[in-house]
Amino acid sequence: MTVCVNRGRGWIASLLLVLSANASAAILAEQAWIREVPPQSPVAAAFVALTNTGKSADHIVAMASPMAGRVEWHDMRHEHGRMEMTQRLRPELPAGITTQLAPMASHLMLLELKQPLRVGMKVPIFLTLASGKKLRVTAIVRASD
């Protein structure tokens, strides 16, 4: 199922789910986007709202994108007067909760970009869940504000 919604002023929300075994998804991905970075940048951050509509928690065990050498979940926090970023290896998605990945907070980091990301591009990101389900998220590259 694919849903694209134009939210005006450059906001584009994208939802694309592909489940390997079951069409009734427990994890929904909405409003996936990537902030445009300079063409020479080897990294970019992706943001998305992940909602676990199921009755039990799940967590991400693998992340990948054909546009990057690797994808990692990073958490940002303010520590000792500065922002610190740490990698989270098995991000949990609690039942009945929306986990919002946003600038200056948790986000997906696309590392070792294989090509420049241009405004309007659709970047696939694949999340593998502990439940065995696979989620395909399509993030739209947006202009920097």
Q: Which residue has the tokens 């996936």?
A: 32
Residue 32 in contact with residue 14, Cβ under 8 Å?
yes
134: nearest Cα among 26, 31, 44, 5: 26
CA separation for the pair 52, 99 (Å, rounded): 8
Query: What are the pLDDT digits (tens) for 41-54?
Result: 999 999 999 999 99
Distance CA 2, CA 47 (A): 18
Q: Which residues pair with 139 in a beta bridge?
A: 123
pLDDT band at residue 6 under the 50/70/90 scheme: very low
More confident residue, 60 or 81: 60
- Whether 18 shows a pLDDT value over 90: the answer reads no
pLDDT tens digits for range 64-116: 999 999 999 999 988 888 988 899 999 999 999 999 999 999 999 999 999 99
Mean pLDDT, all residues of the chain: 85
Q: Which domains does the chain have, with CATH numbers?
A: 2-142 (2.60.40.1890)
pLDDT number for residue 100? 97
Percent of the chain with pLDDT over 90: 73
Query: Considering the entire predicted model, what is its pTM?
Result: 0.79
